[in-house]
Amino acid sequence: MAKKNPFIALLTDFGAADAYVGIMKGVIYSINPQARIIDVSHESAPQQIDQAAFLLWSAYKYFPAGTIFVCIVDPGVGSLRKIFCVQTSNYTFLVPDNGMLKFVLGETQVKGVYDVSKPKIFSHPVSATFHGRDIFAPLAARLSMGEKPSVFGRPAKASLNVELLVSVHPKRVMKYEGKVIHIDRFGNIVTNLLLPESRLPKFRCLLEKKTIEQQVLYYAENDSGDLIIVRGSSGLLEISIRNGSAATATRAKLGQRVTLELLSNEKDDHA
């Protein structure tokens, strides 16, 4: 059952310096004065799909059922790329067809996909560089008022991009290849390696020429100033430095390769 006046959650790479986010909110409120808008983040790095996909994945499940997520990190704005309204059991996502949902779709079932690239409710004329104002915002506002996606678009048999996070199973596989998908404001380096709740056995984590061999449960557990790994709040492997920036120390970049090697411990081996 559709929720009455659901929240609209905004995730963009627009930043806070310009008026883009405020303009989108103005459009939404002009259509639905009772709209309830939440900012997830507007500081996703420009054009970085992996990072935006991580931010969305890390946040969406903590929102009330029925929330409409408006996700705009859109290097293809103005092109022939499509815009989809994707419905799951609990949420609705308005996204460009560029992979922003790939981590979310790795763990939830899609109930419906609609191509909403050309509904008649767009603000006109439609800017080739600001679909957030002219397409996404009007769609979100109308959806929040109870209108169905089928009013604005046709069901789409789209092959949506799905990417599974890399689950680490110490007793099964000894080497994992991952990548940097986010660097937070503290300089913690977030990877796509999903760690178990228990500590890893003996390991070696490689980031370019840096080697990390210590895992902690919390930052204050280490006082050496060395690079450490920690299972972050999202369950992912993070490379950190207590009271410092691991990203600065390693010059890490989004998309950079990370290798996790689990090392054999003869004391634990059984013939």
Average pLDDT, the chain: 91
Q: What is the pLDDT of residues 42-99, one digit of tens each?
A: 999 999 999 999 999 999 999 999 999 999 999 988 888 899 999 999 999 999 999 9
Q: What is the mean pLDDT of residues 140-148?
A: 95
What is the reported pLDDT for 80?
84
Closest CA to 152 of 68, 63, 79: 68
**Cβ distance 100 to 49 under 8 Å?**
yes
Q: Where are the domains of the chain?
A: 7-155, 166-268
Report the CATH architecture of 166-268. Answer: Beta Barrel (2.40)
Q: What is the pLDDT of residues 104-141, one digit of tens each?
A: 999 998 999 999 987 666 667 888 889 999 999 999 99
Q: What is the mean pLDDT of residues 205-215?
A: 93
One-letter amino acid identity for 250? T
What is the reported pLDDT for 78?
84
Cα–Cα separations (whole angstroms), residue 98 to 75, 116, 159, 192: 9, 15, 11, 18
What is the reported pLDDT for 266?
45
Topology of the domain covering 7-155: Rossmann fold (3.40.50)
What is the reported pLDDT for 268?
44
Kindly report the pTM of this predicted structure: 0.91
**Cβ distance 155 to 112 under 8 Å?**
yes
Structure confidence at residue 225 as a pLDDT band (50, 70, 90):
confident
